[in-house]
């Protein structure tokens, strides 16, 4: 089992962990701050350091069960099983993804009533696809995004019983990705205050702590991807 420390504290840039296994398929640690690719968000990159060496982490993915695989170059020297390593993420890349992922939730909040059919988080460009025949004008979406960003709203993670999906199925906006079930707990991302809620959705990704941290956002374009499918692409402003 790999403890997912990033789920509760996405601001950690490094931590000490123990190597559970190391091979061509990747390195498994007992705990990690490296986000494993999923839900449209790329996996983290960075480095693992130990007493006698270090290795670059080129990607992070989910392994069998609850394991997380830290992928390394094919010719890399691997740390021994049982070794203590310092796991260090590429913070600039992670923080860019955090800002953009949170901005995508703001975008989702502006397109009310439309299901999300797909999405991809990127440091330089991100997109959300909506089941939406007539999207608002690009300028209106961009203005709405930046108003929410400038409001510097709180962003927080909370854990609830997964049975909330049965009592409130409207929490899930995505048609392409459904929250995992079976663990008993559900991770929700909330933007706004209790009396002024902007967004509340299941999400396993990493996010900033306040919307003001995102910085200006531009809507680059809106693409027609089908009879009712519209792709909205955002970039840092």
Where do the structural domains in the chain lie, given as residue ranges?
3-89, 94-236
SS3 state of residue 107: helix
Residues 31-40: what's their mean pLDDT? 95
Task: Check pLDDT > 80 for residue 163.
Answer: no
Architecture of domain 3-89: Beta Barrel (2.40)
pLDDT reported for residue 172: 64
Residue 130 has pLDDT above 80, yes or no: yes
Note whether 232 and 219 are within 8 A (CB).
Answer: yes
16 CB neighbour count, 10 Å cutoff:
10
Predicted confidence band at 162 (pLDDT cuts at 50, 70, 90)? confident
Residue 201: Cβ within 10 Å count: 18
pTM for the full model? 0.91
Whole-number pLDDT of residue 179: 57
Same fold, 3-89 and 94-236: no
Tell me what pLDDT residue 168 has. Answer: 66
Task: Give the model's pLDDT for residue 223.
Answer: 96
Exposed e or buried b for every residue in 138-154, given b needs 16+ CB within 10 A? eeebbebbbebbeeebe
Give me the residue label for tokens 């409130």.
Answer: 168
Q: How far is CA 93 from the centre of its chain?
A: 12
Q: Percent of the chain, pLDDT > 90?
A: 80
Mean pLDDT, the chain, as a whole number? 92
Please say if the pLDDT value at position 33 is more than 90: yes
CATH number of the domain at 94-236, out of 3.10.450.50, 3.30.980.10, 3.40.640.10, 2.170.120.30? 3.30.980.10
> How would residue 194 be classed by pLDDT, with cut points 50, 70 and 90?
confident
- The better pLDDT of the pair 102, 113 is held by 102
pLDDT for residue 222: 97
């Amino acid at each position: 089992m790999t403890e997912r420390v990033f789920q509760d504290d996405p601001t950690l840039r490094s931590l000490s962990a123990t190597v559970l296994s190391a091979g061509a398929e990747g390195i498994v640690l007992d705990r990690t701050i490296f986000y494993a690719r999923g839900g449209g968000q790329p996996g983290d990159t960075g480095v693992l350091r130990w007493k006698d060496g270090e290795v670059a982490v080129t990607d992070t993915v989910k392994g069998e069960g609850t394991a997380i695989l830290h992928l390394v170059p094919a010719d890399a020297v691997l740390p021994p099983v049982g070794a203590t390593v310092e796991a260090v993420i590429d913070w600039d890349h992670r923080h860019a993804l955090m800002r953009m992922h949170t901005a995508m939730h703001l975008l989702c909040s502006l397109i009310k009533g439309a299901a999300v059919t797909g999405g991809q988080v990127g440091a330089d460009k991100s997109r959300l696809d909506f089941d939406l025949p007539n999207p608002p004008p690009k300028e209106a979406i961009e203005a709405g995004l930046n108003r929410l960003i400038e409001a510097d709203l709180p962003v927080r993670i909370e854990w609830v019983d997964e049975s909330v999906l049965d009592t409130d199925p409207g929490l899930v906006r995505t048609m392409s990705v459904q929250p995992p079930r079976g663990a008993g707990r559900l991770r929700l991302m909330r933007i706004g205050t209790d009396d002024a809620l902007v967004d509340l959705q299941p999400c396993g990704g990493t996010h900033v702590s306040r919307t003001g941290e995102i910085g200006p956002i531009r809507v680059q374009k809106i693409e027609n991807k089908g009879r009712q499918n519209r792709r909205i692409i955002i970039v840092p402003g």
